[in-house]
Amino acid sequence: MQLVVARVGRAHGIKGEVTVEVRTDEPELRLGPGAVLLTDPASAGPLTIETGRVHSGRLLLRFAGVRDRNGAEALRNTLLISEVDPDETPEDPDEYYDHQLMDLDVVTTDGAEVGRITEISHLPSQDLFVVERPDGTEVMIPFVEEIVVEIDLEEQRAVIDPPPGLIDDRAEVVSTRDEESASAGDEESGSAGAGDETTGAGA
């Protein structure tokens, strides 16, 4: 299975380093030196990670064969893709890869249909499910133990116990897609799909 694990941002310095938008909770495994990654567009890769370091809270990578700023800038907005065993699971039993959660049916504890998970939003404070409702609108569901009471991968469903106002008709319907596109700025762009991130309730 091919999963997006990062997106290349701006060039950093003059020696070929790039900033990356990490889309995995296992950067040491997916984005470590020696890792060979496919790319989107495919013509940009495959790319082999030569070095990696954290600078001012951001991961910087240098790829084999990329030695100057021009080469690094040419990779801007390239998606980095890792080959992952589809049966692989995170070590923590309370965590899940995004691809395991995508398209799960969301129902309440009393069996009422809420919708289908179409996106996982990873915020600094918590993870959110973006759930498409039957009428086409979207609602954000915090992935915390108090609300998401069960993830049943065999039945392909997530059971929630929502507080008043979270999913009723008075709840504000928002989408991270709009927020991301508004705050993207010069460096960032909208998500092209779920990455190989792990998500855990209360994480």
Higher local confidence (pLDDT), 178 or 128: 128
**Res. 181 pLDDT band, cuts 50 70 90:** very low
Check: CB of residue 11 under 8 Å from CB of residue 72: yes
Residue 190 has pLDDT above 70, yes or no: no
Which token pair is 158? 């997530």
Measured over the CA atoms of residue 62, residue 63, residue 69 and residue 75, the dihedral's sign is: negative
Q: Region 187-202: what's the mean pLDDT?
A: 44
Alpha helical stretches, state H, 54-108: 69-73, 98-101
Which of 1-10, 108-117, 183-192 is predicted with the least confidence, judged by mean pLDDT? 183-192
Separation between Cα atoms, residue 21 and residue 148, nearest integer Å: 27
Q: What is the predicted pLDDT for the residue at 188?
A: 39
The pLDDT-based confidence of 174 (bands split at 50, 70, 90) is very low
For residues 51 and 58, what is the distance between their CA atoms, to the nearest angstrom?
Answer: 14
Q: Is residue 198's pLDDT more than 80?
A: no
Closest CA to 119 of 134, 95, 141: 141
| Average pLDDT of the chain to the nearest whole number | 80
User: Which pLDDT belongs to residue 33?
Assistant: 92
CB 102 within 8 A of CB 157: no
Task: Quick: pLDDT tens for 20-62.
Answer: 988 776 787 788 899 999 999 999 989 999 999 998 888 999 9
CA distances from 201 to 55, 70, 95, 158, 162 (A): 29, 42, 7, 12, 14
